[in-house]
Amino acid sequence: MRFFILLRRALRLRCPLCGQGKLFRGWLTMHRECPNCGVKFEREPGFFLGSIYINYGLTSLIVAIAYPVLLFGGFVAETPLLIGSLVFVVVFSLLIFPWARSLWLGFDQWRDPREGEIGTGRTKD
């Protein structure tokens, strides 16, 4: 099924079109184009701003659930919890940065397909 193929490619940090080329050459540095099929990853200026929905959304969801549970459950005092939450927000956002961008690329390919998709069974419109 095409959705799961694109999701698998995104989680493996691979090109959504060919599934072979790596998206990143470093933790925070992307290739401009796929090393395998040559597709340009950034479709338009500001394209990756959409990945913030994933990164910020997941980070804030975790903190919004964990903070009150830990605080009102009496597991952690307020000041260490606040400091820990701030550290978590910064570190976790950096840790999931590649997957946030990759999932955004995959989502974009799923909802607004570009020509050249290989191996997903997609037929031309």
Nearest CA to 88 among 61, 119, 112?
61
Nearest CA to 17 among 90, 122, 99?
122
- Interacting span for Zn ion (CB under 5 A) from 11-19, 76-84, 88-96, 98-106: 11-19
Q: Does 37 bind Zn ion (CB under 5 A)?
A: yes
Q: Does 18 bind Zn ion (CB under 5 A)?
A: yes
Q: Does 6 bind Zn ion (CB under 5 A)?
A: no
For Zn ion, the closer of residues 59 and 102 by Cβ is 102
**Contacting Zn ion (CB under 5 A), which of 5, 10, 21, 120?**
21
- CA–chain centroid gap for 26, Å, is 15
Q: Does 13 bind Zn ion (CB under 5 A)?
A: no
Query: What are the distances in angstroms from CA 53 to CA 22, 61, 71, 107?
Result: 22, 11, 26, 12
Cα 40 to Cα 33: distance, rounded to the nearest angstrom = 4
Q: Does 30 bind Zn ion (CB under 5 A)?
A: no
- Contacts with Zn ion by CB under 5 A lie at 15, 17-18, 21, 34, 36-37
